[in-house]
């Protein structure tokens, strides 16, 4: 029985034909019992057809899965065959490469004696003796080189161990140096800040000193000007006088002027009091004329 899509289509066509035939037969035969029997038989046939169809579909699906698995297996086998071909080619190349060594060894084997001690019959200059000596020399050299290699390996391990120790020490020292550099950098920044503050303070002080120097210069000029105005001969030449002498001279001059002013004021007060007494003694008629006369005069003139 066909289990593919064509078989399923054929079964569907048969079912359709049977259904059509049963419908035609129902129309021809109108008997109730016969119609029920034919309908029951038709239902059984249809159920059987559905079951066959279901089984065919299941079988078709299983075959599809098996075919897909086989195709994957075929692809994998082809890949393995391709790899084996590449491997075969490589081995053939190696066989061709070592073919000459095989021929050389075969020639040596043919030249060797058939017995174990047969080579003793050959002389010292024979090829066999030369090969044996060369072999022994090479074996000895190989052992020496192996011993040297083991010593070198041990030395290399010790060197690597020392290198690791030095690497760790270097990393530790580098870390410490970086920490020290960071600390010094922070200190440098602090000192830089302090230096900036000190420079600002010094500049401020220099400005104040400059202002004070200017004020002192102005004061010295003022003292020199006052000394010229208050010059007194008994102090000597003005150019040769010191600052203290100039100040003393100015002080003396001011005190003298104040004393003169006080004496003058006392004389003025005494003159005013005498004038007042004189006014009281003179008659009123004469006093009015004299008062007008003396009103235009200053107190100093009156004192004179």
Contact 122, 129 (CB under 8 A): yes
> How high is the pLDDT of residue 234?
78
Category of 15 on φ-ψ map: left (φ > 0), alpha (ψ -120 to 50) or beta: alpha
Q: Which two tokens stand for residue 294?
A: 């003396």
171: which DSSP letter? H
Is 60 part of any domain? Answer: yes
Give the domain-ending residue among 97, 122, 141: 97
Question: How many structural domains are present in the chain?
Answer: 2
> How high is the pLDDT of residue 290?
47
> How high is the pLDDT of residue 297?
46
Q: Which two tokens stand for residue 251?
A: 């002080």
> How high is the pLDDT of residue 241?
79
Give the domain-ending residue among 40, 71, 97: 97
pLDDT tens string for the chain (304 positions)? 444 555 556 656 656 655 665 565 555 455 555 566 767 777 788 888 888 888 888 988 999 999 999 999 999 999 999 999 999 999 988 888 888 888 887 777 776 655 545 555 555 556 667 777 888 899 999 999 999 999 999 999 999 999 999 999 999 999 999 999 999 999 999 999 999 999 999 999 888 988 988 888 888 888 888 878 777 777 777 777 787 888 888 888 888 888 888 888 888 887 777 777 766 666 544 444 444 444 444 444 444 3
- Total residues found in the chain within this entry: 304
> How high is the pLDDT of residue 51?
87
Is 117 part of any domain? Answer: no
> How high is the pLDDT of residue 113?
59
- The boundaries of the domain holding residue 46 are 1-97
> How high is the pLDDT of residue 19?
63
Is 288 part of any domain? Answer: yes
**Cβ-based neighbour number of residue 282 at 10 Å:** 13
**Cβ-based neighbour number of residue 258 at 10 Å:** 10
Is 5 part of any domain? Answer: yes
Give dist(CA 214, CA 207) in Å, integer. 10
Is 72 part of any domain? Answer: yes
Give dist(CA 82, CA 75) in Å, integer. 11
Is 269 part of any domain? Answer: yes
Give the domain-ending residue among 75, 97, 119: 97
Is 205 part of any domain? Answer: no
Is 136 part of any domain? Answer: no
């Amino acid at each position: 029985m066909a289990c593919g899509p064509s078989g399923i289509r054929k079964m569907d066509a048969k079912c359709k034909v049977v259904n059509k035939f049963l419908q035609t037969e129902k129309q021809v035969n109108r008997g109730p019992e016969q119609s029920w029997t034919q309908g029951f038989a038709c239902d059984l046939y249809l159920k059987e057809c559905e079951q066959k169809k279901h089984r065919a579909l299941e079988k078709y699906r299983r075959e599809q899965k098996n075919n897909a698995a086989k195709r994957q297996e075929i692809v994998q086998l082809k890949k393995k065959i391709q790899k084996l071909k590449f491997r075969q080619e490589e081995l053939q190349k190696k066989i061709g490469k070592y073919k000459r060594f095989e021929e050389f060894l075969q020639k040596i084997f043919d030249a060797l004696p058939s017995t174990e001690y047969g080579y003793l019959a050959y002389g010292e200059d024979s090829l066999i003796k030369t090969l044996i000596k060369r072999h022994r020399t090479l074996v000895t050299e190989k052992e020496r080189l192996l011993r040297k290699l083991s010593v070198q390996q041990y030395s290399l391990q010790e060197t690597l161990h020392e290198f690791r120790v030095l690497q760790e020490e270097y990393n530790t020292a580098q870390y410490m140096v970086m920490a020290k550099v960071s600390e010094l950098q922070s200190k440098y920044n602090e000192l830089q800040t302090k230096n900036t503050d000190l420079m600002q303070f010094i500049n401020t002080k220099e400005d104040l000193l400059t202002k004070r120097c200017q004020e002192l210069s102005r004061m010295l000029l003022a003292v020199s000007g006052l000394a010229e105005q208050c010059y007194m001969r008994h102090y000597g030449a003005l150019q040769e006088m010191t600052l203290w002498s100039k100040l003393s001279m100015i002080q003396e001059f001011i005190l003298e002027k104040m004393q003169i002013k006080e004496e003058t004021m006392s004389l003025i007060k005494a003159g005013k009091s005498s004038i007042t007494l004189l006014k009281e003694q003179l008659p009123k008629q004469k006093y009015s004329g004299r008062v007008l006369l003396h009103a235009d005069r200053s107190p100093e003139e009156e004192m004179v």
